[in-house]
């Protein structure tokens, strides 16, 4: 027995929406965990540098060791590890921005750190990115247009 066309169309729309909702939730969970990982790595670098007086070479060595341990994975470059350290240092004392940074992607956070010079401006762009779901390119364009 074939389902009634209108009933089936409604059914498939519901299924598609449920799939999209689950995919978005999964993506959001992965992003949150990735941001938390970057925060933790940045925190751990800062703590060890403060505790043992380690200099720049620790980030260089850490990058080499992580790339060796996780071949083919991106994110373990010296530059990215320095960004993780900067990320932690920028937000560790800011109780308002700390939870917000996990709600946007790493690339957005990196752009905000490089383009925004104070916490009020950072908060504005974090909230707007979250509210409007700006892609990296749209976000970069928004900052560029605002700054010029």
Angle at 73 between CA 70 and CA 78, to 5 degrees: 85
Which structural domain, as residue segments, surrounds residue 119? 94-148
91-to-5, 42, 148 alpha-carbon distances in Å: 54, 11, 26
Predicted TM-score of the model (pTM): 0.86
Residue 15 lies in a domain: no
Helix (H, G, I), strand (E, B) or coil at 57: helix
Sequential pLDDT tens for the chain (148 residues): 677 888 999 999 999 999 999 998 999 899 999 999 999 999 999 999 999 999 999 999 999 999 999 999 999 999 999 999 999 999 999 999 999 999 999 999 999 999 998 999 999 999 999 999 888 889 888 887 776 6
Please indicate, yes or no, if residue 146 is contained in any of the structural domains.
yes
Give burial (CB, 10 Å; 0-12/13-18/19+) of 121. Answer: middle
The pair of structure tokens assigned to 61 is 């060595």
Q: What gap in Å lies between CA 133 and CA 27, rounded to an integer?
A: 13
Number of domains in the chain: 1
Domain-located, residue 39: no
| Residue 101 counted as domain residue | yes
């Amino acid at each position: 027995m074939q389902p009634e066309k209108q009933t089936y169309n409604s059914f498939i729309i519901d299924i598609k929406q449920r799939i999209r909702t689950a995919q978005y939730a999964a993506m959001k969970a992965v992003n949150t965990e990735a941001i938390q990982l970057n925060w933790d790595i940045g925190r751990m670098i800062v703590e060890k540098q403060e505790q043992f007086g380690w200099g720049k070479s620790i980030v260089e060595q850490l990058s080499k060791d992580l790339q060796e341990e996780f071949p083919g994975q991106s994110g373990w470059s010296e530059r990215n590890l320095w960004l993780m350290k900067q990320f932690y240092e920028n937000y560790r004392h800011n109780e308002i921005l700390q939870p917000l940074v996990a709600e946007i992607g790493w690339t957005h956070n990196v752009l905000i750190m490089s383009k925004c010079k104070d916490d009020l401006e950072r908060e504005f762009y974090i909230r707007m990115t979250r509210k409007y779901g700006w892609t990296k390119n749209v976000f970069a364009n928004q900052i560029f247009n605002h700054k010029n």
